[in-house]
Structure 1
Amino acid sequence: MHKTILIADRDDGALAGLANLVEEMGYDVLLAHTAADALNIARQRWPDVAILDLGGPELDGLAASRELRGMAAARSLLLIALTGWGQPQHWDMALAAGFDVHLVKPVGLDQLSFILSMAYE
């Protein structure tokens, strides 16, 4: 069974680029342009991994992370923050919101491959 990766980023270019990269790695991909869209998609098809940008106009990635953790209950989810925000306080905010990993854009192929390989079976 393929792992499903939910990616949310309001930047169309970043979203498409990351989606292509993840698909080439052999994962199924679900795409969202906002954190709110990501939550709606997760309600319909639960992902193994969610990669969320932290910024957002209505519901940001931090709030979406907390919501996904609440929705997860007994289901597994590897939650990755992928953002341009790289200061120590951003790492702390991401972990406090329920993210497992905080990555700063641009992420390298090897780094992403290693982290996605840790997704739950």
Structure 2
Amino acid sequence: MTKRILIADDDDDALAGLANLLNGMGYEVALAANGAQAVEVAQQFAPEVVILDLGMPMMDGLAAARALRNTPGGRGVLLVALTGWGQPQHHEMTHDAGFDVHLVKPVSTDQLGFILSMTQP
């Protein structure tokens, strides 16, 4: 079974680039342009991993993480913050919102592969 990954980012280029990378690594990928859309897509797609940018319009990544954690099955999802925000207070914010991992852009393929290997397909 292929691992399903949902990516949410309001930067179209970042979204497409990460989607292409993950597709090339053999993952099934769904995309969202903001946090609210990510929560909606997750309900249909049932991802094992959700990668969220933090600074998105309508619903930011922090609010989306909290919403995802409160959905049925949301506790078992690996939530990854992938953001340009790398200060200690940002790590604390993501931890408090329910994220499992905080990655600062740009992320290496090796680093991403390692994080994704921590979940079962």
Using the size of structure 1 for normalisation, the TM-score is: 0.96
Counterpart CA distance in 2 for 1:84 and 1:110 is 18
Change (3 A) 1:117 1:96: same
Query: Identity across aligned pairs (percent)?
Result: 63
The runs of at least 4 aligned residues of structure 1 exceeding 6 Å deviation read: none
Change (3 A) 1:72 1:105: farther
Counterpart CA distance in 2 for 1:69 and 1:100 is 11
Which residue in 1 is equivalent to 2:12?
Answer: 12
> What code does the residue aligned with 1:78 have?
L
1:66-77 aligned within 5 A:
66-73=66-73, 76-77=76-77
Change (3 A) 1:41 1:25: same
Uncovered stretches (5+) of structure 2, i.e. residues with no partner: none
Uncovered stretches (5+) of structure 1, i.e. residues with no partner: none
Bigger shift: 44-53 or 71-80? 71-80
Using the size of structure 2 for normalisation, the TM-score is: 0.96
Q: Secondary structure at the match of 1:31?
A: strand
Is the CA contact (8 Å cut-off) linking 1:53 and 1:61 kept in structure 2? yes
